[in-house]
Amino acid sequence: MIEVKGLSKAYGELEALREVSFSIERGEIVGFLGPNGAGKSTTMKILTGYLPQSAGSVSVDGKDIGEDSLSVRARIGYLPESTPLYTEMLVYDYLAYVAQIRAITKSEIHDRILETTRLCGLEERLGQEIGTLSKGYRQRVGLAQALLHRPDILILDEPTSGLDPNQIVEIRNLIKSLGEERTIILSTHNLPEVMATCNRMLIVHNGALVADGTPAELQAREEENPRVRLVVRGATGDDIDKLRDLEGVEAVDAGVTVEDGATAFEVSAVRGRDARPALLELVSNQGWELVEIHRLVLDLEGIFRKLTKDV
C-alpha cells in the first residue's frame, strides 16, 4: 500500500535520511523506532507531504506523494510531534473547521464530530478551549483531528510522549482498536510502546534503516546464544562442571544459592541449539529437584541498544 524507495533527505550539509526503503501493507501497525534525531520525524514529514525528499520516492497505492499530493493527503490522517493546535479555539469549533477542510458535507459534520470525539474520549470537552486542556486531552484532540475524515492511513509522530502512564495506556488502546481497519505508522523512542501496539517494527539509526520485522523476528535474529536459567535444589556450586560437560552447552555462569538450598545456573547454549532437554535429563539423573527452568530472551531494549549503538 505504501511504497518507500531509496528515500534520502539532506538539510544542507546534514544527511537526515539515507536511502531508506520499505513497504507497508494495508492493516499493518508499524512502529518507527530510533533514538532522538535518527530520522523518524523527517520520514513522517515526507510521508505526509510536509517536506519534500532530496531523493527517492514515496507512493500510496501507486500514487506519488509529490505528484498526486492532494489526493494522497486526503487519505492520510497526521498527528505531528508535539501536537500543534489552535489553542484559542473551542474543541468543537476546531473539529468543525477541520471537517470543512476535509470536505465532510455540512449536514454530516455534527454527527461526525460526536462520533470521533466519543471514540477519542473527548465528548465531555467539546465546549472547552483547547489551550485550557491537559496534555492528554490535547493529544486526543490531535488524534480526533487525524481521524475525523476516516483516513485509511494514520501517521502518528510520538503519540504518547509527555503523557502520564494512565494516559499512555488509554492512547495505546485507542491506537490498537483503530489499527483493526487502518494502516498505522507511529514513531516512538519508547520500546514498550512498540511491544504493546505494533505488529512490525522499523528501526532507524543515523538516517538509515537498521532493522525491519516483527518484534519476535528481531529477537530471534539478534540472539546469538540462547540462554537458559536453571534453578535446582540438591546441587551445589561444585556441580557446575557437570553442566559444562553437557552436549550443546557452551558456557555456564557460576551457580549461586538463591532460596532455601536452591542453586541457580545460567547456561549459554551453542548457537542454534536448545540446551533444555539435556539439562532436564541431567537433573533427573542426578536426582535434583527442579525448581525452575526457562529460556532467557534478549529483550527488545537490548536489541535496540545493540542496533543503535554508535560504533
Taking the least distance from each CB to other proteins, the nearer of 72 and 174 is 72
Question: Which region, judged by CB under 8 A, interacts with other proteins, from 51-59, 161-169, 182-190, 200-208?
Answer: 51-59
- Measure the CA–CA gap between 134 and 112, rounded to whole angstroms: 23
**Is residue 107 packed enough to be buried (19+ CB in 10 Å), middle (13-18) or exposed (0-12)?**
exposed
- For the bound state, the minimum distance from the C-beta of residue 140 to other proteins, rounded and expressed in Å, comes to 15
- For the bound state, the minimum distance from the C-beta of residue 48 to other proteins, rounded and expressed in Å, comes to 4
Taking the least distance from each CB to other proteins, the nearer of 85 and 114 is 85
No. of H helices and E strands in the chain?
11, 14
Count of residues that bind other proteins according to CB under 8 A = 30
- Measure the CA–CA gap between 277 and 170, rounded to whole angstroms: 42
Options 35, 49, 213, 302; binder of other proteins; rule CB under 8 A: 49
Interaction between residue 86 and other proteins (CB under 8 A): yes
- CA torsion 36-40-41-42 (nearest 10°) is 120
Q: If DSSP states are collapsed to H, E and C, what string results for 40-53?
A: HHHHHHHHCCCCCC
Contact 124, 136 (CB under 8 A): no
- For the bound state, the minimum distance from the C-beta of residue 74 to other proteins, rounded and expressed in Å, comes to 4
Cell triple for 221: 535474529
Taking the least distance from each CB to other proteins, the nearer of 40 and 45 is 45
Options 42, 116, 117, 145; binder of other proteins; rule CB under 8 A: 145
φ, ψ (nearest 5 deg) of residue 101: -70, -30
- For the bound state, the minimum distance from the C-beta of residue 158 to other proteins, rounded and expressed in Å, comes to 13
Options 18, 40, 45, 172; binder of other proteins; rule CB under 8 A: 45
Interaction between residue 177 and other proteins (CB under 8 A): no
- Measure the CA–CA gap between 35 and 188, rounded to whole angstroms: 9
Sketch the per residue contact string, 102 through 121, with other proteins: x for CB under 8 A, - otherwise: xx------------------
Interaction between residue 92 and other proteins (CB under 8 A): no
- Measure the CA–CA gap between 245 and 250, rounded to whole angstroms: 9
Q: Can you give the binding site for other proteins, defined by CB under 8 A? A: 45, 48-54, 70-71, 73-74, 76, 78, 80, 82, 84-89, 93, 97-98, 100-103, 145
